[in-house]
């Protein structure tokens, strides 16, 4: 609970008085289904125990003030003036603050309420979600803000609408062209379960994971290689997928099946074909993983995780040597499956590891990084946890 206490302490220091309460939301690990969300496809993420907390106090002057333990600055803006901060003035606001302020703005839009009628608020944030690890610290701050402001403003919005507000903040206030997976995982997470999400209909099923009963642990190997989805590779991959869908005459790559790939190979250039093949086979693997979890349990999904990583490394080309090293080391030390998780170009790998092999995986990854001259990775276990809520 330290991050929660830190948020309350920060509220005292920056704003004075007592907050009304704290709200929090988790980061996520994605078990399988990478870059499929913005292709209208399938994903299987789960919320993790690491959370972002916001201590919130009401104000009666229609002003929002945001402060965080990541930065010394307190940013102040009238609710109705938030749009003036972005996108044109994006660089004038600290990046972390664009997440909560972007969510506030997206909530006003989604609710149809007149900003002038909404109360102001002081929000103090603290988090124990590792930043830059591909565990979606951004969705955690968005979802914590969304549940807190929705309650304080009395908005009639469901959890899917709150996830959409988070995504809108990320796309339009931060400028990262991301999909809906991370926000849905953070809003809908359940203890010991993953969320099987159809990113076209936004229908979500809760899938029991049962790692502990199967004697398995989910180990995160954070490479420390930082990445940003607002620049570079993420947007390039998204553009390739859109080009592929257009050339194949479908609304989104969700509409292409494995059986269509032979025809696709004749219509697309080699690079676009490999991007398309990743999405099509990854959608297939997500559905196969759900079937395996329902039928046989988590010990049966290892090969699907391994195939997912190979597809991201060879076809989608979003892995980096540190991630490949982490995956190979984990597998060589007894993991039953391993893959990079999240958007790629850095961040973390996950490994599904028998309880008795966790130390061996940790030692093997640390040794492999040292042998390759990489900075030491940060290694920890995560457990599937509950979604955003008032604490």
CB 36 within 8 A of CB 42: yes
The CB-of-318 to ligand GAF minimum distance in angstroms stands at 8
Q: Could you say which of 37, 40, 122, 182 is catalytic? A: 182
Those residues whose C-beta lies under 8 Å from the C-beta of residue 340, and which sit 6 or more positions away, are 34, 134, 309, 312, 318, 319, 323, 326, 327, 347, 348, 349, 350
Residue closer to ligand GAF (CB basis): 37 or 322: 37
CA distance 339 to 306: 6
179 counts as binding ligand GAF under rule CB under 6 A: yes
The CB-of-55 to ligand GAF minimum distance in angstroms stands at 26
CA distance 167 to 183: 7
Radius of gyration of the chain (CA): 21
Residue closer to ligand GAF (CB basis): 11 or 38: 38
- Per the DSSP assignment, residues forming a β-bridge with 381 are 219
Residue from 341, 343, 344 nearest 382 by CA:
341
Residue closer to ligand GAF (CB basis): 350 or 361: 350
- Per the DSSP assignment, residues forming a β-bridge with 42 are 198
Q: 6: part of which helix (H) or strand (E)?
A: helix 2-15
The CB-of-104 to ligand GAF minimum distance in angstroms stands at 20
342 counts as binding ligand GAF under rule CB under 6 A: yes
Question: Distances in Å between the alpha carbon of 349 and those of 38, 116, 308, 336, 384?
Answer: 21, 45, 12, 14, 16
313 counts as binding ligand GAF under rule CB under 6 A: no
Residue closer to ligand GAF (CB basis): 152 or 352: 352
The CB-of-177 to ligand GAF minimum distance in angstroms stands at 9
# residues contacting ligand GAF (CB under 6 A): 13
Q: Select the residue interacting with ligand GAF from 51, 159, 229, 274 (CB under 6 A).
A: 229
Q: Point out which span in 88-96, 153-161, 179-187, 188-196 binds ligand GAF (CB under 6 A).
A: 179-187
| DSSP state at residue 256 | -
Residue closer to ligand GAF (CB basis): 122 or 142: 142
Pairing outcome for strands 204-208 and 193-198: antiparallel
The CB-of-33 to ligand GAF minimum distance in angstroms stands at 7
- What is the residue-wise DSSP string for 213-224? TTTEEEEEEE--
Query: What does the block give as tokens for 201?
Result: 């209909």
The CB-of-309 to ligand GAF minimum distance in angstroms stands at 13
CB atoms within 10 A of CB 190: 17
Q: Evaluate the omega torsion of the peptide bond into residue 87 and state whether it is cis, within 30 degrees of 0.
A: yes
- What is the residue-wise DSSP string for 60-110? SSSEEEEEETTEEEEEEEEGGGGGGGSSTTGGGS-HHHHHHHHHHHHHHHH
Q: Select the residue interacting with ligand GAF from 178, 186, 281, 357 (CB under 6 A).
A: 178
The CB-of-345 to ligand GAF minimum distance in angstroms stands at 10
Contact string 32-61 vs ligand GAF (x = CB under 6 A) = --xx-xx-----------------------
Q: Point out which span in 153-161, 177-185, 255-263, 382-390 binds ligand GAF (CB under 6 A).
A: 177-185
CA distance 98 to 265: 41
**Residue 91 appears among annotated catalytic residues:** no
217 counts as binding ligand GAF under rule CB under 6 A: no
Q: Select the residue interacting with ligand GAF from 142, 182, 217, 222 (CB under 6 A).
A: 182
Residue closer to ligand GAF (CB basis): 19 or 134: 134
175 counts as binding ligand GAF under rule CB under 6 A: no
| Site for ligand GAF, rule CB under 6 A | 30, 34-35, 37-38, 136, 178-179, 181-182, 229, 342-343
Catalytic residue set: 182
């Amino acid at each position: 609970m330290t991050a929660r206490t830190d948020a309350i302490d920060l509220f005292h220091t920056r704003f004075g008085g007592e907050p009304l309460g704290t709200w929090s939301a988790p980061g996520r690990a994605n078990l399988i289904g990478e870059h499929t969300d913005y292709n209208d496809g399938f994903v299987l993420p789960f919320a993790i125990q690491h959370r972002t907390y916001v201590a919130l106090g009401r104000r009666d002057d229609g002003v929002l003030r945001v402060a965080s333990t990541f930065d010394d600055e307190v940013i102040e803006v009238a609710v109705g003036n938030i749009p003036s901060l972005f996108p044109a003035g994006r660089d004038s606001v600290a990046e972390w603050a664009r997440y909560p302020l972007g969510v506030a703005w997206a909530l006003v839009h989604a609710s149809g309420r007149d900003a002038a009628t909404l109360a102001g608020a002081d929000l103090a944030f603290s988090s124990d979600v590792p930043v830059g690890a591909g565990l979606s610290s951004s969705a955690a701050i968005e979802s914590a803000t969304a549940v807190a402001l929705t309650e304080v403003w009395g908005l009639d919005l469901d959890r899917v609408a709150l996830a959409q507000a988070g995504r809108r903040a990320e796309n339009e206030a931060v400028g990262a062209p991301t999909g809906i997976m991370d926000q849905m995982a953070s809003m809908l997470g359940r203890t010991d379960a993953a969320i099987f999400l159809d990113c076209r209909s936004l229908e979500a099923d809760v899938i029991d994971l049962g790692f502990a009963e199967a004697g398995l642990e989910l180990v995160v190997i954070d490479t420390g290689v930082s990445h940003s989805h607002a620049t570079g590779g993420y947007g390039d991959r998204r553009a390739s997928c859109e080009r592929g869908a257009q050339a194949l005459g479908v609304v989104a790559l969700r509409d292409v099946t494995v059986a269509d790939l032979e025809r696709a190979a004749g219509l697309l250039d080699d690079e676009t074909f490999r991007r398309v093949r990743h999405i099509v086979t990854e959608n297939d693997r997500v559905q196969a993983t759900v079937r395996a979890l329902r039928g046989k349990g988590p010990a049966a999904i290892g090969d699907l995780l391994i195939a997912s990583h190979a597809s991201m490394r060879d076809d989608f080309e979003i892995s980096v040597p540190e991630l490949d090293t982490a995956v190979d080391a984990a597998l060589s030390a007894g993991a039953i499956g391993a893959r990079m998780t999240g958007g790629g170009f850095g961040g973390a790998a996950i490994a599904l590891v028998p309880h008795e092999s966790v130390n061996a995986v940790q030692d093997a990854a640390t040794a492999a990084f040292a042998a390759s001259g990489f900075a030491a990775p940060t290694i920890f276990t995560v457990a599937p946890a509950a979604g955003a809520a008032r604490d």
